[in-house]
Structure 1
């Protein structure tokens, strides 16, 4: 009787493996389809993120050159909206410096800091002290001619 019981157990195990094989195959197919779909969605997300970044760079900044550079309050609240501050960002400093046609060294001379500080601010490695931010924002609000005129007298 033991051989009958053993052969019955073996047959049950064989049938179970056979049925599981079919089910596992279906699960593998489903899993593969889901993985490929996830990969496609990741590619689509990456493309959309790069498109958003490009559009963010293309978006024109508000015309701050038209603002008078006389007071820090006019820079802190553009277009007369109280409660809305202009915030210092590394990217803005870099683009505005390029727009003004100034080198990092010239910008540093105008602000009374080292060119290394300008480089660190632009690369995001450091942030300027809070006491320097209004002066930086005033300088960034200048027009190209006015900024170059301020640099010329200080040139050796």
Structure 2
């Protein structure tokens, strides 16, 4: 009886594989067709986006231009011109803050007192975990440009 059951199971498995083979082949064909169609659509989308970008650059009007003007205003408000060098702008970076603190020989607590913030803020800014508000950046950059004696006198005051 076991040989009959075994041969029945084998025959059922063979027929099932035969049936599935045809269906899998059909699915592979449609999958390949879908992939090539997706690739073509991606290329078409990229071309359309490039065309839209070119049109926006050439147009110079509308909402895109207003957004660009607003972005420039934010960048200019968060940058300070270097004294005596018109046109050059300084931007706040964690590396600059670390370098200035090391140059002044200050602890994070002393630097916090100079910049009128908490020492935790200094730690977060230096580690890159946070950055100062855009409205505070010009003031911070001005104080970072101070010499050692001026900075110490401001801390003492």
Q: Could you say which TM-score interval applies, normalised by the shorter chain? A: 0.3 to 0.5
- Alignment TM-score, normalising by the size of structure 1: 0.47
Structure 2 length-normalised TM: 0.46
Tell which has more relative contact order, 1 or 2 (C-alpha 8 A, sep 6+): 1
